[in-house]
Structure 1
Amino acid sequence: MSNPPVHVTRPFLPPLEEFIPYLEEIWTSGHLTNGGPMHQRLEAALCEYLGVPHLCLFNNGTSALMVALQALELQGEVITTPYSFVATANAIAWNGLDPVFVDVEPTYLNLSPEAIEAAITENTSAIVPVHCYGNPCDTAAIDAIARRHGLKVVYDAAHAFGVRDSEGSILRHGDLAVLSFHATKVFNTFEGGAVVCHDLEMKQRLDRLKNFGLDGESRLAATGMNGKLNEVSAAFGLLQLKHIDTALEARKKIDTHFRLALEKLPGLSALPRGRQTNDNFSYFPVLVEPSYPLSRDELLTCLAERGIHGRRYFHPLIPDFEHSPFRGGDWPVARDASDRVLCLPIYPGLSSDELDRIVYALREAR
């Protein structure tokens, strides 16, 4: 009998019976969307859990990033990373802005501050760095660059739910920070997202922009979108929060297991942990070195033949997609990582037998 497949991730689902009372509340209230009681409770609960002053919920992370950029009324060029999911660049382009891709630094694969500074022109209006794999960017250097040049900073923090550095939540950095609550993320609301901001005025602006730009019933304050999170998704988020610490602890154990195993597997290098004091273990990326018996793509195929499905996060680079509308360029560090990275399965519920099976496959791959 063959083993069941092991995927790179599986959504965390709390016990179904715990969700039923939330649904009963929604059925009783009859309130399904438009900032209902579940929505308001989740915003407050997330602010408390994450340690941030204001948070605006959205129907997904891409909408959240699009509106965050719109709220800052940007023009011209926005510096960002080619080593990310396409949503990062898409949100920039959807706002009529020109994404300018610069290289990443080799340790954590986040935007290189030196590359950012070198790319700034008179047309640059903002920087959109990504906390890749949940490892914080060099926020001090990026924020200093932004101050010197009068630029806005919007952190794509889709991977970074709950990550903290020595002074608190990394979501406090920049003008805005954007989260994703997609089913593949460590905290999910089926689909969802949020923008973290520093003051009530910006929170109110974001709320208007995600509700068609309306300010009351008869005033159109801006050209907005319908980006609201519904009550069922908000309720699921409230339930997820009750289990999030247990889920993160399960991820930590898997991360530790892999790191110990890789010490005995030459040719596979785990990315180091970053500047964070609290991690969320959202991904487990390894770089396949030339000394390993197989190339990255050969290893991916070898694992798949054994029912183990990793992912090449992130390959190809955003501008390298077929028919990509974005300009190409020379990003040697990002391209090298994109050619060698493989994310291994990590999620709560991954059994010790499955972990051993993955490690065995990595050791025996030929």
Structure 2
Amino acid sequence: MNEPIYVTQPVLPELAEFIPYLEQIWKNKILTNCGPLHQQLEKELCEYLGVDYISLFNNGTIALVTALQALGLEQGEVITTPYTFVATAHSIVWNKLTPVFVDIDPETSNIDPKKVEKAITAKTVAILPVHCYGIPCEVEQLQALANKHSLKLIYDAAHAFGCEYQGQSLLNYGDLSVISFHATKVFNTFEGGAIICHTAEMKQRIDRLKNFGIVDETTVDGISLNGKLSEVHSALGLLQLKTIDKTLEARQKIDENYRNFLQNIDGIKCISRLHLEKDNYSYFPIVISERYPLSRDELFEKLKANNVFARKYFYPLMTDLNVYQQFKSEAPNAKQLSEQVLCLPMYPTLIIEQIQMIVDVIQECAK
């Protein structure tokens, strides 16, 4: 119990279970370039997630960059949220597009469709919302706006692996959805990511773009990056899929324990996840309001002093970073949430005694 408790730990299988996959790779002598394990993982992920087409990538950031490129967005403005990880905004700028940051709904932490509509101009070409913490955006309203103004709709769904909303995968909404398989995510392939699309033609375009734009041995039809996922990463993904449901069950129990233990602490609010039909419990964010005796930063330091390493996620806002000062916009809801939110440790092997100890620190500070 004296060991550090970090905000997350990667889920890994038993090493002995991974060895046979490595032996198969050594036998095949295929390490990359969409080998047999890569193809098998794409097939099994489609079945598990309930999606038609998926293209694997070496990470979620390259997948985001490629998603914008795949939709032919060469110039113009992309409306997005300032309450996100830097990869969301970076992918826009890498494509020489202009990010337009609008405010969020403080209840969901997701982009506010009303603010999106006000930000649409003749220069707008796309909307790039984030399913923050795996909580679904207002997908119907955003799709209606995209249809009305002939805009592309790409979801940064890095947190949304396995989430279901209104009877289907949350990844099926929009023109494209991008997910991350980073080590910290509920499903990881060491590093990795993917784009979900809806047609064979779009998958073919995406697959070419993630392989330098190569069509065949003598033809290249686009200037793009190398985003392929290796066979070793694919092998881990296949093994992780075998236990993903147990992983999600363990995360659900931790979520329930946190909510039960924290419910009577004044000034501490747990962000609701009630709209999901199937959740992945990817994070456990709490909001520290003015009624709590300590500020968010003070509680963060108090937890750290007790060997508990929470995370201010997302802080600072994109628009508060020096590299995005030129795109500064007013987003008071996002600003306030970024200064009050704290993600508590969340991973499947977190035990009840550790959860209770974390809550005890929070409870003690409330006195």
**1:57 aligned counterpart, secondary structure:** strand
Counterpart code for 2:48 = Y
Q: Aligned equivalents of 1:179 and 1:323: distance in 2?
A: 25
Deviation at 1:265, TM superposition (A): 1.1
Q: Aligned equivalents of 2:139 and 2:81: distance in 1?
A: 15
Counterpart code for 2:16 = E
The match for 2:244 is: 244
Deviation at 1:353, TM superposition (A): 1.3
Moved more, 201-210 or 272-281: 272-281
Deviation at 1:275, TM superposition (A): 2.1
The match for 1:180 is: 180
Deviation at 1:365, TM superposition (A): 2.2
Asked if structure 2 preserves the Cα contact closer than 8 Å seen for 1:108 and 1:274, the reply is no
RMSD between aligned residues: 0.9
The match for 1:16 is: 15
**1:33 aligned counterpart, secondary structure:** coil
Once the two structures are superposed, the pairs formed by residues 150-229 of structure 1 within 5 Å of their partners are: 150-229=150-229
Asked if structure 2 preserves the Cα contact closer than 8 Å seen for 1:47 and 1:53, the reply is yes
Q: Aligned equivalents of 2:122 and 2:129: distance in 1?
A: 19
**C-alpha distance after superposition, 1:280-317 (max 9, x if no partner):** 00000000011111000000000000000100110000
Counterpart code for 2:113 = P
**C-alpha distance after superposition, 1:187-246 (max 9, x if no partner):** 000000000000000000000000000001110111111100000000000000001000
The match for 2:287 is: 287
Asked if structure 2 preserves the Cα contact closer than 8 Å seen for 1:136 and 1:274, the reply is no
Counterpart code for 1:12 = V
Q: Give the ranges of 4+ consecutive aligned residues of structure 1 lying more than 2 Å apart after TM superposition.
A: 322-326
Q: Aligned equivalents of 2:86 and 2:305: distance in 1?
A: 28
Counterpart code for 1:10 = Q
**2:287 aligned counterpart, secondary structure:** strand
Once the two structures are superposed, the pairs formed by residues 1-366 of structure 1 within 5 Å of their partners are: 3-74=2-73, 75-324=75-324, 326-365=326-365
Deviation at 1:352, TM superposition (A): 1.3
**2:319 aligned counterpart, secondary structure:** helix
**C-alpha distance after superposition, 1:322-346 (max 9, x if no partner):** 4435511110110010010000001
Per the normalisation by structure 2, the TM-score is 0.98
**C-alpha distance after superposition, 1:133-164 (max 9, x if no partner):** 00000000000000000000000000000000
Q: Aligned equivalents of 1:283 and 1:196: distance in 2?
A: 22
**1:207 aligned counterpart, secondary structure:** helix
Counterpart code for 2:194 = A
Counterpart code for 1:58 = F
Q: Aligned equivalents of 2:322 and 2:218: distance in 1?
A: 44
Counterpart code for 1:316 = P
Counterpart code for 1:291 = R
**1:69 aligned counterpart, secondary structure:** helix
Identity %: 54
Deviation at 1:274, TM superposition (A): 4.3
Q: Aligned equivalents of 2:215 and 2:173: distance in 1?
A: 28
Q: Aligned equivalents of 1:365 and 1:356: distance in 2?
A: 14
Per the normalisation by structure 1, the TM-score is 0.98
Query: Structure 1 residues 5, 260: closer, same or farther in 2, change over 3 A?
Result: same
Counterpart code for 1:321 = L
Asked if structure 1 preserves the Cα contact closer than 8 Å seen for 2:82 and 2:318, the reply is yes
**1:273 aligned counterpart, secondary structure:** coil
Query: Structure 1 residues 326, 208: closer, same or farther in 2, change over 3 A?
Result: farther
Count of residue pairs brought into register by the alignment: 365
Moved more, 8-17 or 318-327: 318-327
Runs of 5+ in structure 2 lacking a partner?
none
